[in-house]
Structure 1
Amino acid sequence: MPPRKGTLSGQVSDADLRLLRIYKKVVECGGFAAAEVDLNISRAAISMAINDLETRLSLRLCQRGRSGFALTDEGREVYESSLQLLAAVEGFRTRVNSLHEWLKGELNIGITDNLVTMPEMYITDALSALKERGPEVRINIRMKPPREIELAVMDGRLHTGVVPTLETLPGLHYRSLYEESSLLYCASNHPLFGAEDVAQEQLGRWDAVIPAYAQIPEIKLKHEPLKAAASATDREGVAFLILSGRYIGYLPTHYAQRWVEAGRMCALTPQACRYVTRYSAITRKGGAPNRVLDAYLEELVRLTTD
């Protein structure tokens, strides 16, 4: 009996996987134009690939044109299914590679923004040691918000991640990694710059930038006395607003150090206006054996316990 019209006939081929990877990137970038750089192919080639995929699946996946890019209902379903399929393919590759005596395969790691300036170079040094042990290992870093990293590790799209320890999810294992200190800062063109000690009630009179990302209750308490006049979704956004000279705000000390040393920022009442954020390396509980991931974690543990 011939296949029904609108069904996927035959086997899923390498060509199909390539089309799905292109489609996945287009969805995550929000359109053809934005995906050009990441995919390193032309917009015309991307359009042709999506047309081929739609023909292969007999489905309309997305609307594109003057009104912009938008997924159809079927397109959203195909995207979610492609995440599962590509994760399974990567899992198969990882398990097969683990049969070899040498390290070979990929390490997909998600990292929260602005950790590269941490003085303890645990992640950098562990990646260097991993590359020394397995020169053919391919390392892929994804910079994502913490919750996206946790979900991606849980569903297998990422092998591991580094996130602030806000609340632990039951499906993940957390390894303590960093303790990050943050202080309240203002810029050199702010009226409070250089003040030796500022009373808490006086600080509350000045416009402040408040983080729009998740924080534990103890850190939220530090922001409550401030006058919330702006928000930012990451630490770079907080730094932009502080450097405008119009706002005060909290930043990690390692991240603000460059501006402090240049005389462009100073900390305000550092004894009282201080908090600590703890970071953990996360992996999925009960994940498939992965020699590349195991080697990376071995190096990370060695560095953090030396």
Structure 2
Amino acid sequence: MGQEQKIISQLSNFDIRLLRVFRTVVNCGGFAAAEVELNISCSAISISMSDLEERLGLRLCQRGRAGFSLTNEGRLVYEASLQLMTSLETFRTQVNAIHHELKGELSIGITDNLVTLKHMQITKALQKLKQQGPQIKIQIRMIPPNDIERNVLDGGLNVGVIPQLRPLPGLEYQPLYDEKSLLYCNHEHLLFDMNDDDITAQLLYQCDAVAPAYAQLAQTKEHYQKLNTTATATDREGVAFLILTGCFIGYLPTHYAQRWVTSKEMRAICPQQLHFTTEYQLVLRKGACPNLVLDTFLREVNPKNIT
């Protein structure tokens, strides 16, 4: 207990920096994956982790050929570090609010391939936020919806943009935008030159199809159940890769597929019948402390949700 009190009393900026590195390594699942996120080498990450373990007097993780994993002590330190970072950001935000200044950080998790959705106002909202607070630091993580929810819940992200799925306790969801998806094939596919009237359900089922490997709503799954799924992809870019082979058909958002439709590399199949809409929403942690930076971003990205 004496050592713990000594550690807490001597917590410094250097310790906080080491804890930020540790948190990123845990979120990314290992040293190698954290290199890009931290923009430092794997050896530098290893040194930081060793320094943190020495300063805390604890073994935080196992690393080696078997892969990266947290020790029991590492899990407790990780949870404590999340509380610490949240408290520091809350303090900074509240002090800045006293001065009516926008300073601090905004960390956002976004589902892949939304940048081409014209009515998605994230870019304009970030632009206005940065104009109002030039010193604000912005972090964007492109990760799957389930990871976004988990990171928002544990404080690793301030806000997320995800498709509508099953709501989780402890999170607040705000409607954002809709995204339309159609069934596409490549110009080398046998369906490309066929009239929609000649494409039957039986013919469609004879074609190989690609489906997403991530969670879908029940009404969306119904569209894939009518296809002969012989391939899966973890994101929409993977779906596009397989459609472009000319061997698969698959659903893509219209805004994302438009570049290939324009170049006549893809076409939509029976768009009047084969389509569905995905609702996107903002996800926030319930009961989170007031955050002037986050509130400003929310007001800019979706004014109708601000009361």
Taking structure 1 as the reference length, what is the TM-score of the superposition? 0.90
Cα distance change on mapping 1:221 and 1:65 into 2, 3 Å: closer
Structure 1 portions without partners, runs of 5+: none
- Is 1:139 aligned to residue 138 of structure 2? yes
Q: CA deviation at 1:35?
A: 2.9
- Is 1:261 aligned to residue 248 of structure 2? no
In structure 2, the partner of 1:123 is 122
- Is 1:195 aligned to residue 171 of structure 2? no
Q: CA deviation at 1:92?
A: 2.2
Cα distance change on mapping 1:291 and 1:9 into 2, 3 Å: closer
Q: Tell me the distance in 1 between the aligned counterparts of 2:114 and 2:207.
A: 28
Decide which moves more: 220-229 or 71-80. 71-80
In structure 1, the partner of 2:277 is 276
Cα distance change on mapping 1:82 and 1:100 into 2, 3 Å: same
8 Å Cα contact 1:62/1:70 also seen in 2: yes
- Is 1:54 aligned to residue 77 of structure 2? no
Q: CA deviation at 1:96?
A: 2.1
Decide which moves more: 211-220 or 68-77. 68-77
In structure 1, the partner of 2:26 is 27
Amino acid at match of 2:235: D
Q: Tell me the distance in 1 between the aligned counterparts of 2:150 and 2:16.
A: 22
Cα distance change on mapping 1:298 and 1:140 into 2, 3 Å: same
Cα distance change on mapping 1:232 and 1:133 into 2, 3 Å: same
Decide which moves more: 53-62 or 231-240. 53-62
Q: Tell me the alpha carbon deviations over residues 187-243 of structure 1, each in whole angstroms, 9 at most, x when there is no partner.
A: 111111122211112101111111111111111111101111011111111111111
Q: CA deviation at 1:41?
A: 3.0
In structure 2, the partner of 1:226 is 227
Secondary structure of 1:25's counterpart equals helix
Amino acid at match of 1:45: A
Amino acid at match of 1:19: L
Cα distance change on mapping 1:106 and 1:182 into 2, 3 Å: same
Amino acid at match of 2:298: L
Q: CA deviation at 1:22?
A: 1.4
Amino acid at match of 1:248: I
Matched positions, count: 304
Q: Tell me the distance in 2 between the aligned counterparts of 1:6 and 1:44.
A: 30
8 Å Cα contact 2:106/2:139 also seen in 1: yes
In structure 1, the partner of 2:239 is 238
Taking structure 2 as the reference length, what is the TM-score of the superposition? 0.90
In structure 1, the partner of 2:290 is 289
In structure 2, the partner of 1:148 is 147
Q: CA deviation at 1:66?
A: 4.6
8 Å Cα contact 1:113/1:234 also seen in 2: yes
Decide which moves more: 134-143 or 250-259. 134-143
In structure 2, the partner of 1:211 is 212
Q: Tell me the distance in 1 between the aligned counterparts of 2:84 and 2:12.
A: 12
Q: CA deviation at 1:184?
A: 0.6
8 Å Cα contact 2:174/2:305 also seen in 1: no
Q: Tell me the distance in 2 between the aligned counterparts of 1:226 and 1:202.
A: 10
8 Å Cα contact 1:3/1:9 also seen in 2: no
Which structure 2 residues correspond to residues 72-151 of structure 1 after superposition, within 5 A? 72-151=71-150
Q: Tell me the distance in 2 between the aligned counterparts of 1:171 and 1:33.
A: 31
- Is 1:184 aligned to residue 171 of structure 2? no
Q: Tell me the alpha carbon deviations over residues 233-268 of structure 1, each in whole angstroms, 9 at most, x when there is no partner.
A: 111111111111111110000000101111111111
Q: Tell me the distance in 2 between the aligned counterparts of 1:265 and 1:184.
A: 10
Q: Tell me the distance in 2 between the aligned counterparts of 1:173 and 1:69.
A: 32
8 Å Cα contact 1:209/1:249 also seen in 2: yes
- Is 1:15 aligned to residue 14 of structure 2? yes
Amino acid at match of 1:296: F
Q: Tell me the distance in 1 between the aligned counterparts of 2:108 and 2:68.
A: 29
Q: Tell me the distance in 2 between the aligned counterparts of 1:27 and 1:160.
A: 19
Structure 1 stretches of 4+ moved >4 Å: 4-9
Amino acid at match of 2:276: Y
Q: Tell me the distance in 1 between the aligned counterparts of 2:305 and 2:186.
A: 34
Secondary structure of 2:183's counterpart equals strand
Identity %: 56
Decide which moves more: 133-142 or 151-160. 151-160
Q: CA deviation at 1:130?
A: 1.4
Q: CA deviation at 1:5?
A: 9.3
Amino acid at match of 1:237: G
Cα distance change on mapping 1:274 and 1:9 into 2, 3 Å: closer
Structure 2 portions without partners, runs of 5+: none
Q: Tell me the distance in 1 between the aligned counterparts of 2:128 and 2:268.
A: 36
Secondary structure of 1:98's counterpart equals helix
Q: Tell me the alpha carbon deviations over residues 166-198 of structure 1, each in whole angstroms, 9 at most, x when there is no partner.
A: 233353333322111100111111111122211
Q: Tell me the distance in 2 between the aligned counterparts of 1:168 and 1:72.
A: 30
Cα distance change on mapping 1:189 and 1:127 into 2, 3 Å: same
Q: CA deviation at 1:68?
A: 4.2
Q: CA deviation at 1:67?
A: 4.6
Decide which moves more: 48-57 or 261-270. 48-57
